[in-house]
Chain A
Amino acid sequence: MKKYKADLHVHTVLSPCAEIEMLPPLIVSEAKIRGIDLIAITDHNASANISAVQKAALGSGITVLPGMELQTKEEVHVICLFDSIEQIVQFQNIVDQKLPPIKNRPEYFGEQLVVDDKGDFVRKEERLLITSTDLSINEAFNLVDEIGGIFIPAHVNRKANGLLEILGFVPVDIPILALEISRHISPKDVKIFYPQINSFEIIQNGDVHRLSEFIGTTIFEIENPSISEIKLAIRKEADRSYFVNSIT
C-alpha cells in the first residue's frame, strides 16, 4: 500500500473567489513543494481548467483528479470527484442545464478565467458560476453515484454553504460516505462541537483559493490514486485506510 498526501478541494482562476495565482503550473509546483501527491480540481459548478492542470502535472508525480464543487438547490456545497475527464464532462453537461443563466459581474464576484497548462488566458466564463444549481442534494448524490464518482459535502462546519448550517444534520436517505471539514477546525474538535456527525468518516481539505491554503492533512493508504481506492480507504476495507493529521 502507498501513502498519498492529499488535498481534494482545489480551486483555479475559473472560480471567481480564487486568487489570480491559482494557475496550473503554480498549483502543481506548490503541491510538489508541500509533498502533496494527490489533488482534485474543484471549481464552483465548473470543470474547464481540469485538463490544463492535468497537463501541467505531467511528469511531476502528482495525480490530478477531475472534480467539481457543486452548489445544490439548498445552497449546500459538495465536492464531486471522478476518475476521468469523460465522467466530469458527463456531469458538467447536466450541471450546465441546471445552472441559471445569470451573467457574472466580475467587479462583485471576481473574474472566471479558463487558462491553458502554462496558465495563459484562453477565455472568460460569462455565466455566473457561484450560484445554486437546480439540483437537490439528493438528486446530485444519485447523479454522482451513477457516473461512478464520490460525493463529499464540503466544509460541513462552515456557516456559509456548509451542510450542517443549512440542513441541520446529514440527510439520512442518501448514503454519504464521508464529510469534509474546513481548515479552521481539527478532526478532534469536530467530534466535540458537532456530535451529530460522530458516526461519519471525516476528511479535511484546504479548500484552496490561494497557494498558501494547501494543507495536505488527509493521508490515504491505497494501491493507486483512483476513486474506487479512495472509497475503499474511507470504508477502511481491503487493507486500505486513511487518516487526518493536525495542521502544522
Chain B
Amino acid sequence: MINLATIIDKLELKVLTAEKDFSQISVKNGYTSDLLSCVMAGAPNQSIWVTLQAHNNIVAVAALLELSAIIITEGATPDPVTIHKANEEGITLLQTEQNSFHVVGMLWELGIRAEK
C-alpha cells in the first residue's frame, strides 16, 4: 500500500499542518468531491480526499471518516483556525496549485484507486 510520504513527494504537495512521519500513514483509496454532504456519505476510511473546499468543516468531516489526508487544490487556503483544528484532530492538510483533475490523475498513476 502506498504511504503519504510518497504522495507528498511525487505530487510536490505543501504540508500545511504539523510535520510527522508521513511514511507511516498508509492510503487505501482516493475520493474527490467538493460537497461535504457527499463526502460524508461516500469517502472510505483511510482514503485521501481531493477537494478545493477549504472551509473549517472539512476537518470535522475528515476526522469523522478517519481519512488519511486532505489535498486542497487550486491554491485554496484554509484559515489559521482550520489548520489549528486539523493539528488538534491529527488531520493532515496538503495544498497544491494544481486543479483537482490533475491531482486525481497523478494519484491514479501512483496506483491509488476509488473504493470498489
B79 touches A138 (CB 8 A): yes
1/0 per position for A143-172, CB-CB distance to B under 8 A?
000000000000000000000111111011
Kindly list chain B residues whose C-beta atoms are within 8 Å of the C-beta of A138: 55-56, 79
> How many Cβ-Cβ contacts under 8 Å join chain A to chain B?
35
Indicate which residue in A136, A137, A168 contacts B61 across the interface (CB closer than 8 Å). Answer: A168
- Any B CB within 8 A of the CB of A74: yes
1/0 per position for B17-50, CB-CB distance to A under 8 A?
0000000000000000011110110000000000
Given contacts A136-B79, A138-B79, contact A171 B37 (CB under 8 A): no
Kindly list chain A residues whose C-beta atoms are within 8 Å of the C-beta of B34: 166
- Any B CB within 8 A of the CB of A173: yes
Determine the residue in chain B with the shortest Cβ distance to A173. Answer: B56
B81 touches A173 (CB 8 A): yes
Kindly list chain B residues whose C-beta atoms are within 8 Å of the C-beta of A137: 55
B81 touches A167 (CB 8 A): no
Chain A residues touching B, range: 10 to 19
B39 touches A168 (CB 8 A): yes
The majority secondary structure among interface residues of chain B is helix
How distant is the Cα of A74 from the Cα of B36 in the complex, in angstroms? 11
Indicate which residue in A74, A166, A173 contacts B37 across the interface (CB closer than 8 Å). Answer: A166
- Any A CB within 8 A of the CB of B57: yes
Q: Measured between C-beta atoms, what is the minimum distance from A182 to chain B in Å?
A: 16
Kindly list chain B residues whose C-beta atoms are within 8 Å of the C-beta of A136: 55, 79
Q: Measured between C-beta atoms, what is the minimum distance from A171 to chain B in Å?
A: 6
B55 touches A171 (CB 8 A): yes
Interface centre among B39, B56, B57, B61 (most CB of A within 10 A): B57
How distant is the Cα of A167 from the Cα of B57 in the complex, in angstroms? 6
- Any A CB within 8 A of the CB of B53: yes
How distant is the Cα of A27 from the Cα of B79 in the complex, in angstroms? 41
1/0 per position for A203-237, CB-CB distance to B under 8 A?
00000000000000000000000000000000000
Kindly list chain B residues whose C-beta atoms are within 8 Å of the C-beta of A165: 35, 37
Kindly list chain B residues whose C-beta atoms are within 8 Å of the C-beta of A172: 60
Q: Measured between C-beta atoms, what is the minimum distance from B61 to chain A in Å?
A: 6
A166 touches B79 (CB 8 A): no
Given contacts A136-B79, A164-B37, contact A169 B57 (CB under 8 A): yes
Those of B91-109 within 8 Å (CB) of chain A = none
A74 touches B81 (CB 8 A): no
Kindly list chain A residues whose C-beta atoms are within 8 Å of the C-beta of B39: 168
**B-contacting residues of A (Cβ < 8 Å)?**
74, 136-138, 164-169, 171-173
**A-contacting residues of B (Cβ < 8 Å)?**
34-37, 39-40, 53, 55-57, 60-61, 79, 81
Can you list 12 A-B contacts with CB-CB less than 8 angstroms, sorted by A residue number? A136-B79, A164-B37, A166-B37, A166-B53, A167-B36, A167-B55, A168-B37, A168-B39, A168-B57, A168-B61, A169-B36, A169-B60
- Sample of 6 further A-B pairs with CB below 8 A, known A166-B35, A171-B55, A171-B57: A137-B55, A165-B37, A166-B36, A166-B53, A168-B60, A172-B60
